[in-house]
Amino acid sequence: MPSENETNAEFQRRMSVTVGELRQKYGAHFAPGYGDQDNLGELLGRAGFNTLEEYLNQHHHDCMTPKSSN
């Protein structure tokens, strides 16, 4: 469901980010058991969360801060 400040198109774009793209940001161990082509919407739906933040918090990914681009 889009947030109050987000259009439906923005929501759809955010949910279509792939697990592979998120692994590039958070590391290879992000979302074990999910394929690189699974998208954020599928991940959240199967895991029972509404946001990526909820997923990260629940899975104790304190090491899941985005990698620096240096």
Tell me: the pLDDT tens digits for 19-56? Answer: 999 999 989 999 999 999 999 999 999 999 988 989 99
Residue 68 domain-assigned (yes or no): no
Looking at residue 59, its pLDDT comes to: 80
User: What predicted TM-score, i.e. pTM, was given to this entire model?
Assistant: 0.72
Residue 39 domain-assigned (yes or no): yes
Residue 22 domain-assigned (yes or no): yes
Residue 3 domain-assigned (yes or no): no
Q: Measured between alpha carbons, how far apart are the two ends of the chain, in Å?
A: 34
SS3 47: helix
Q: Which domain holds residue 13?
A: 8-58
pLDDT bucket at 64, cuts 50 / 70 / 90: low
Residue, of 66 and 17, whose pLDDT is higher: 17
Residue 41 domain-assigned (yes or no): yes
Looking at residue 2, its pLDDT comes to: 62
Looking at residue 6, its pLDDT comes to: 66
